[in-house]
Structure 1
């Protein structure tokens, strides 16, 4: 049946469609960047133009489905289904399947050069590890699933959203500008470059033993095996083998001492990770709160390579909306500028992430946030609220985006991922 819609050239139509077919339609339309009504319109038009009826589609369990079509198309479609002696439900299912077959899922976009994101700040406790994990999880999510993403570009909206929480940390109607989008489907390696092993522990892995091999050994030129053998998979259906972790080892506390004896020590991390790069689209390095030689090596690893576009790799700076983060930011950017000048390399800033934000802390929080926004270059690319879901995920040693996939923090991580893509 059909009823008039608000648009003068379209009408609302109501029929039935199998749940799985409807889900495929939603995902494929999002992947193709068109709305569902346009996809259905195209499918019906193609179905009506066929010389013969296509194979039947299983419509068992079909339930209500509605969309808007150009005025008159549904009546024409109804007449042709009568002529072909098929039901409206079967005709619609065939039309949708016809459109799906003609518009296969696009290939996942993969970079020509593995992207390298260095998550850093000299100050500890700002949440670099949480941002590293959340960003990696968001980049690795399934390209054939729809996931809630914050799409608002207005920072004020994001601020208001961070202050609105339901009982389970989920999404409240009207709190956020949300769009359901396919995951990026990237192959991601998280590198725990911090001797405190926070990233390793949070994701439920074990730190590497002091008696064995480690990233530190490879950087110091004393490997005990293949670095690939140290990599572990973050096992979760949401990531389907796309998210891996290179665990930390406590021997990294001695990394600066060992690097002091290494030739071209700024390139030590790059030399160590180079054999792994062909396996991944993105490598994200969780840096320690340090301005030593290890940070030089991390910043150099994120430098812009030949034939790499600006902003593809570089430093992602995590801060809080308070004064000590600003002091640490100045120290870090000074170190990066010195490295740029000394080695004549381009190290891009991918942006600033304001983490653990809570406006209830008053003027210091809100004014500090405004100060970060006012910097402009690098600009604020993420705002993550100080909510309970991240702490709970750490406690149970599960990825945040698996533990609370619809929480505001998860939605914010997906927004961040799309900002840095």
Structure 2
């Protein structure tokens, strides 16, 4: 990607996939915009939105447009920060612009589906629970605190119950009604009756938790005996969906049938746009996380192919990062960033505030809302909005 200056604008020459260019030209005409204005809007939105999924730019033909002085230099700096090529950055920006500017000819039908974020990794100890709690809180924060004030359901799908414990909520007693019983056809009541509000002025009445139950340890065995087991979690949660804008699921460190059900729940439904729902993968900057990542993505790809599903990777979160740990940490972070798709959407520092919040049985954004980790949670929620 190169530029040359003439008058009040500078000519920018790059490459752009032909199909993407055609889509943008048509959409620009529908919105009565010049291509150069579309590109300028797209670059600005891309820079503000944070890392995006990688775009396919192979075999792209040349493309040029005119931009105001300084726009190109700012764009280059953002590309350097994200370690993407200028061609890749431009393609991502225009894909984002298309998503934000639907065709006026399309009929837009509101759907009751909440956005679903599935926090998954086969490896334990990578911080799935902390991220589930933090992201959920960030979505639910009131507008007076700078949050989007959305209705959030946190689902403790891990029978160990760490998410429930973090908020000071008791796990459901063995033998009582539970999410597992609703998944396996043994329900004893209304699942909505099990939901616990997380009370704090930051969240109003918008943050809720579905607690864990130890019967989840036998869920894989029970699922093996029922039909359409991949859809079991969806069947259980679907009656609750209209009451929430976002559902965040804290998955167990497992590659069994329960994980299949969670991945299926996060699939792209027919009415949904790409990346409206999907899987967020917490990892750490060390070698064993890479092995676990390979196992998880293998399971997702198998499910995709076997059931012909669209499952979107919403991104990687490198959690509990500390560069002082030396070469292993820094080189592992670089390796995660070089994957490209899914992209690293955030690096969460290893700080004591999260551990203190858990010990005090408070959400991080209540315990220390100004901490670096709290800021990272808000950043992730913003990127995934």
> SS of the counterpart of 2:329?
helix
Aligned equivalent of 1:340, options 295, 300, 304: 304
Task: For 1:326 and 1:123, locate their aligned partners in 2 and report how far apart those are by CA, in whole Å.
Answer: 10
1:111 deviates by 7.4
Q: Deviations 1:120-148 (Å, cap 9, x if unpaired)?
A: 000000000000000000000002x14xx
Task: For 1:383 and 1:242, locate their aligned partners in 2 and report how far apart those are by CA, in whole Å.
Answer: 27
Which residue does the alignment assign to 2:346? Answer: 382
> SS of the counterpart of 2:348?
strand
Task: For 1:255 and 1:217, locate their aligned partners in 2 and report how far apart those are by CA, in whole Å.
Answer: 9
1:383 deviates by 1.1
Which residue does the alignment assign to 1:241? Answer: 205
> SS of the counterpart of 1:191?
strand
Aligned equivalent of 1:275, options 224, 236, 239: 239
Alignment of 1:164-313 (within 5 A): 182-313=146-277
1:113 deviates by 2.4
Task: For 1:347 and 1:395, locate their aligned partners in 2 and report how far apart those are by CA, in whole Å.
Answer: 35
Task: For 2:209 and 2:148, locate their aligned partners in 1 and report how far apart those are by CA, in whole Å.
Answer: 18
1:211 deviates by 2.1
Task: For 1:284 and 1:416, locate their aligned partners in 2 and report how far apart those are by CA, in whole Å.
Answer: 13
Task: For 2:320 and 2:142, locate their aligned partners in 1 and report how far apart those are by CA, in whole Å.
Answer: 27
Which residue does the alignment assign to 1:133? Answer: 133
Q: Does 1:114 find its partner at 2:78?
A: no
Task: For 2:230 and 2:179, locate their aligned partners in 1 and report how far apart those are by CA, in whole Å.
Answer: 15
**Which runs of no fewer than 5 residues in structure 1 stay unpaired?**
1-109, 147-181
**Which runs of no fewer than 5 residues in structure 2 stay unpaired?**
1-109
Query: Contact 2:112–2:241 at 8 Å: present in 1 too?
Result: no
Bigger Rg, which one = 1
Give the TM-score, by structure 2 length: 0.71
Query: Contact 2:318–2:348 at 8 Å: present in 1 too?
Result: yes
> SS of the counterpart of 1:331?
helix
1:283 deviates by 0.4
Give the TM-score, by structure 1 length: 0.65
> SS of the counterpart of 1:389?
helix
Task: For 1:336 and 1:292, locate their aligned partners in 2 and report how far apart those are by CA, in whole Å.
Answer: 12
> SS of the counterpart of 2:175?
coil
Task: For 1:289 and 1:281, locate their aligned partners in 2 and report how far apart those are by CA, in whole Å.
Answer: 26
Which residue does the alignment assign to 1:58? Answer: none
Task: For 1:314 and 1:227, locate their aligned partners in 2 and report how far apart those are by CA, in whole Å.
Answer: 23
Cα RMSD for the two superposed structures: 1.0
Q: How many residues align?
A: 276
Query: Contact 1:304–1:346 at 8 Å: present in 2 too?
Result: yes
Q: Does 1:354 find its partner at 2:318?
A: yes
Query: Contact 1:315–1:348 at 8 Å: present in 2 too?
Result: yes
> SS of the counterpart of 1:116?
strand
> SS of the counterpart of 2:317?
strand
